Structure 1
Amino acid sequence: MPSPGKLRTKLGKLRLSKNRIKLGNILNSEVISDTILIKNTATVPMKISFGEHSDILQIYTLKDSLKPQEKGKIVITLDPTQGKKYGLLDERIPLTIEEGNRKRNYAITVSATILEDFSYLTEKERKKAPKIQFEGYVADVGVISKKESKTVEFYYKNIGKNDLIIRTIDVPMGVSVIAYDKVLKKNRKGTVKLEVKPKYFRAKLNFVVNVFSNDPNRSMVSLKIIGKMNRKENTKLKNSGEKVEKVSPLDAYKIINENFNDILILDIRSEKKYNDDHIKHAINLDFNAENFKDLLNAMDKNKILLIYDDEGVHGEKILKTIEDLEFKKVYYLAGGFHGWKKENLSLSGMRKNSLLGNKKAEKIIE
């Protein structure tokens, strides 16, 4: 296993011991920190800054600027006590590196599972606590088309004595919560109703849904949804298997909106073109750079990757570059940046109100 002190991750001229922080399980009464070792390998001073992130996360560097070859640290602290947060945290924190007049955007990802702390309960209170019991933990949706959706229901019961409260339900991309019974009295039954709409998946389905409640013995229950995609409907780049799918600008816009916290937008044009104009939140990584593949490989593989160039003509080259990288899912923007602009899609935001007047875009996100 690599030593934690090794700076094996590369983000431009910045070397890091890692760019993904995995904090594991943490109680909502705890505060936990982790450190990333860094080094400036550039020949000029380097400034590091961070973009917006949730209130329960704190991130800072010990120095605002690193001299050439100077080492430093990035400290990340997770403090769930700052907000009533339960469930899964998987947050991408924007990281900007400035070297002289050059500015590049990257990201650091922090993940954790935040569980409720029941240590304050007495033995008597635990005996009277609620207890959640599901009738089944796996639902099979069978064969499903990318254009259809299916409803899944999980039934549960409070077999404890006090009220059962569902704190939150965390669902993956492709699954949404329709409704659930938030509070159940003793011996009452409830339903978690979910919609499965796996438009952006191309193989077997294996979704995990996590239900968090005030049951001190099982505060997190994992449910599973399985099934298969109708492979005859798949549209992929030539010889791409299931790795890369070409999508239109409008479909790309919808993918971004539906997976805003789980997607990396990669602009592979030159730095000059990127600085002239680009899709907001896109990271610039010049396709012609010598270390393009190394930098791409350093990115979070658990995220969805949306790649775009100028005209959308380099799909096969991109496929050849990423074919041995283990990305979860990759989309390639048909028509490239020019196609995006032709659809009058926003360059300054990804939200619905940024497309006022664009009837096509308004229609797909209703």
Structure 2
Amino acid sequence: MTGVLRLTEHRPQRGVPLTTAQAALLTVSKLVTVTPEPGGDWCVTADREMVGSTRLSSAQTSIDLVITPKLPVRRLFFLLGHAQKGVEWHRHATNVEEHQELVPAIAHAFARMCESALNQGVLQGYRTVEESSTVLRGRLRTADQIRHRFGRPLPAEIRYDDHTVDIPENRLLLTAARKLLRERDLAPATRALLRRILVRLDGVSSLDPRQGLPTWSPSRLNARLQSPLRLAEIVLRSGSYEFEESPGLRADGLVLRMWQVFEDFVTRALTEALRSTGGRCLLQDRRFHLDHAETAQLRPDLVYEPPGAHSPGGVVDVKYKQVKGAGGNTGDLYQLLAYCTRLNLPEGHLVYAAGPGTATTRHHLHGGPGVTVHQHALNLDTEPDVLLTQVDTIATELRTPV
């Protein structure tokens, strides 16, 4: 097979002509499931809750893989932005609805937001520089001078603050723009905007891919850059990697884990909905164990503590999958039963990404005084305001137990 393998999330594609090396490469990537078919072709299914595009390569072969989300891109963009501290990317980025695939939409939105922010000028800031110099500037690093120069006055080991454009914020934007320019299927207008970003950020250095992303703090000065900066971090964190178990294999692209996007959206939206009533929401709470020896750790997605309380008042677990009808998913019910038993709660909440309607189903479980599990299914393919109203309903049930 040559060219691009295009798949849709959770939809098997049959009759795919792959070489044995390409099938092995796809299998090792764990992005898709590959099974042989009679006649020598293959069935490829994007069932690992991953979407985006990437180039998989090894010494023997390479293949470009594009996985389109089953959810419309404009809806996914809203989930992605809201999970990032409530950034309304779907409002900042025009024409996102024209893109059927995720990565071109992200590139377009990023380019438009950067253009708007950089039209107001390139942000400058102070960066601490440590170097050897024949001119004394800033402060002398006495210990390094003694260690490296053995009493010689020059060159001097100095430290100073330089006012420059080469600051973490600009380095993130530049590196993300360069990465997106390597993607295929971008519209010519998007490529032109991305190249304009590189010109605007002249004098800024790219980030080293072997090192972690630099930290930056939201402030009044970088307020106009915060939306594209958060999108740049997503682009760079979901990018290139090598396979530890298979040296020589490499992936380079932009792939999102849908379960993580959905979980981040639901927990953040619930936290915002509960904020007005006080109390606090703890995400991925690691304080509790199932056994007395504290070897079996529990990690519920969200634990709610009401105002003035020092113990849990509600627990939520988020599942990026469809409800299996009125009977529920037995394994998920077991999990919530364990959470409620350990946290001493009479009820808990399961939130699914899809199901038969959005009405809440209640399961009354056996054991002790009994535990009630509220099973919610969100309709993701709806307008943002309607979706957030669904989340508000769950928050109301969470803070006012039935």
Tell me the TM-score range normalised by the shorter chain: under 0.3
Structure that is richer in strand per residue = 1
TM-score by length of 2: 0.21
TM-score by length of 1: 0.22
Structure that is richer in helix per residue = 2
Greater C-alpha radius of gyration: 2
